[in-house]
Amino acid sequence: KTTRKKVYTHSERAALCQHPLTQKLLTIMDMKKTNLALSADVTSSKQLLSLADSIGPYICILKTHIDILDDFSPDVTAELRALADKHNFVIFEDRKFADIGRTVQHQLSSGIYHISRWADLVNAHPLPGPGIIDGLKQIIKNFIIISYSPTEAIEMAEANSDFVIGYICQSRLTDNPQFLHMTPGVKLVEGGDSLGQQYTTPEDVIRRKTCDIIIVGRGITESVDPVATAIHYQQAGYAAYVSLFH
Amino acid sequence: KTTRKKVYTHSERAALCQHPLTQKLLTIMDMKKTNLALSADVTSSKQLLSLADSIGPYICILKTHIDILDDFSPDVTAELRALADKHNFVIFEDRKFADIGRTVQHQLSSGIYHISRWADLVNAHPLPGPGIIDGLKQIIKNFIIISYSPTEAIEMAEANSDFVIGYICQSRLTDNPQFLHMTPGVKLVEGGDSLGQQYTTPEDVIRRKTCDIIIVGRGITESVDPVATAIHYQQAGYAAYVSLFH
């Protein structure tokens, strides 16, 4: 069983962190009593906005894949932004940037989506090397690294702690309280899909792997009553967090 | 100096390969006497289509980043498709898929871009694991792996040779003649940009690293006379290939 030297509460960590978005996120988590991120992987704008509005009160992060919307228009991101302010959550565009610095700059700021105009947070693979960070950093201030390669991820994050707020990972990578650990593939019941996705539980992520945020997608979006299910995940995730102090 | 056991001509390799797109590509390379891929990283549709039309005769592949176009419309991809048929080149959307199977399926077939409708070829990072291949394979037939992690890349390619046609890499990974090796970051003069991109030369890529295709972007698109420069690259790349047999 992994144990951390010191377990900080969300508000203690908010005070320790330098990065404004990390502070904001930890404050949201503390105030709204939630470590739940909703992965809103739907292909209709109406459905996305409806999920953001109905489930917004129970989440700290709304994770989007803006490029799978079949009916995208700039109005969608404007409305998302308004809902993020209304319900106090952070918008995380899960673009998984993975190219050279100059290309990711275009992908982040140009094109149809203009991601940097409305997303609070984006992510990238560390593999293309430091140029990807340098490219993104010139355009957006908040960023998560995907830790398929933990060594590279940690190195890149520590070297850019003014910019990198954390990791997408399956278990805690570092005791540095400045970095948030977010874990995807969470369901209330373990299992998998037909394309290799494996699911883990909120209890497992927060207590055993000592990560900070559970990312839940189909467990909520494909349930019969998404709002009730989201509340269920919020409570399970937060109870696991609270139990760290007992 | 790296030496291959046997150097095949493009037409010999076309006969050895099972994959229809690899055969098509090697046949184009043989007929048009070119191993040049143009990386058309421009943000205007008009500029993209103009490059595709004027430089189309000299390339085997047009590599696109459809998501950096500021004025994308479905007409653009229809026109690109028509130009690919007119000039006989392959369209390679350099999307660098890097997510779980279900998400990449949406990204490939849905959204605004409907990549699978017009791209001959896409690519992905091997890191998310076999699910990414299984997801893409259900939708598109042709695919390149990016080899930041050569071991994983080779393993994944060999296990999916009905689907994977080659690698994006800096030097040859395997002697298996079925796999095409494509190298980005090529200029006539070595050097770099301010975001960590390093450049190598056609001679170096084709002769010393024994790769098959040179991918040239800014070296052509930012030159004073892109067509004349493209012809220059085509000749340099092809001369390096011909020299392998002397």
Per-residue model confidence as pLDDT tens digits over B50-70: 999 999 999 999 999 999 999
Tell me how close the Cα of A102 comes to any Cα of chain B, in angstroms.
7
Helix (H, G, I), strand (E, B) or coil at A175: coil
Q: Which two tokens stand for residue A70?
A: 């079949």
Contacts of B193 in chain A (CB under 8 A): 101-102
Q: Is the dihedral of CA B147, B153, B154, B160 positive or negative?
A: negative
- Tell me if chain B has a CB within 8 Å of the CB of A65: yes
Confidence of residue B146 (pLDDT cuts 50, 70, 90): confident
Contacts of A105 in chain B (CB under 8 A): 195
CB contact (8 A) between residue B67 and residue A107: yes
C-beta separation of B60 from B239 below 8 A: no
- Tell me if chain A has a CB within 8 Å of the CB of B65: yes
- Tell me if chain A has a CB within 8 Å of the CB of B88: no
CB contact (8 A) between residue A41 and residue B106: yes
Helix (H, G, I), strand (E, B) or coil at B147: coil
Query: CA B235: distance to chain centroid?
Result: 18
Tell me how close the Cα of B63 comes to any Cα of chain A, in angstroms.
13
CB contact (8 A) between residue A72 and residue B111: yes
- Tell me if chain A has a CB within 8 Å of the CB of B187: no
- Tell me if chain B has a CB within 8 Å of the CB of A176: no
CB contact (8 A) between residue A129 and residue B196: yes
Active-site residue, from B41, B53, B67, B99: B99
Q: What is the mean pLDDT of residues B123-140?
A: 89
Residue A193: predicted pLDDT: 87
Top-confidence residue, B3 or A121 = A121
- Tell me if chain A has a CB within 8 Å of the CB of B192: no
Confidence of residue B2 (pLDDT cuts 50, 70, 90): low
Closest of B139, B136, B138 to residue B123, by C-alpha: B136
Best residue in A67, A94, A187 to probe B by mutation, most B CBs within 10 Å?
A67
CB contact (8 A) between residue B102 and residue A130: no
CB contact (8 A) between residue A111 and residue B196: no
What span, in angstroms and rounded, lies between the C-alpha atoms of B70 and A117? 14
- Tell me if chain B has a CB within 8 Å of the CB of A96: yes
**So what's the ipTM on this one?**
0.90
CB contact (8 A) between residue B101 and residue A68: no
CA distances from A33 to A220, B26, B133 (A): 18, 59, 38
What span, in angstroms and rounded, lies between the C-alpha atoms of A234 and A229? 9
Among partner residues A106, A130, A131, which is closest to B68 by beta-carbon distance?
A106
User: Which amino acid is it at B153?
Assistant: A
Residue B4: predicted pLDDT: 52
Per the annotation, the verdict on B99 as an active-site residue is yes
pLDDT by residue (tens digit) across A58-85? 999 999 999 999 999 999 999 999 999 9
Among partner residues B102, B106, B146, which is closest to A197 by beta-carbon distance?
B102
Say whether pLDDT at B5 is over 80. no
B192 CB-near residues (< 8 Å, 6+ apart): B198, B199
Best residue in A64, A65, A103, A110 to probe B by mutation, most B CBs within 10 Å?
A103
Tell me how close the Cα of B43 comes to any Cα of chain A, in angstroms.
7
CB contact (8 A) between residue B131 and residue A195: yes
Q: What is the mean pLDDT of residues B172-186?
A: 94
Residue A3: predicted pLDDT: 52
Residue A144: predicted pLDDT: 87
Contacts of B127 in chain A (CB under 8 A): 125, 127, 148-149
What span, in angstroms and rounded, lies between the C-alpha atoms of B164 and B145? 7
Contacts of A101 in chain B (CB under 8 A): 193, 195-197
Say whether pLDDT at B174 is over 60. yes
Say whether pLDDT at B1 is over 80. no
Catalytic residues of A: 96, 99
The stretches in chain A having pLDDT less than 50 are 1
C-beta separation of A236 from A203 below 8 A: yes
Residue A182: predicted pLDDT: 97
Confidence of residue B147 (pLDDT cuts 50, 70, 90): confident
Q: If you count residue pairs, one on A and one on B, with CB atoms under 8 Å apart, how many are there?
A: 120
Among all residues of chain A, which has the CA nearest to that of B130? A196
C-beta separation of A141 from A134 below 8 A: no
CB contact (8 A) between residue A196 and residue B100: yes
CB contact (8 A) between residue A101 and residue B196: yes
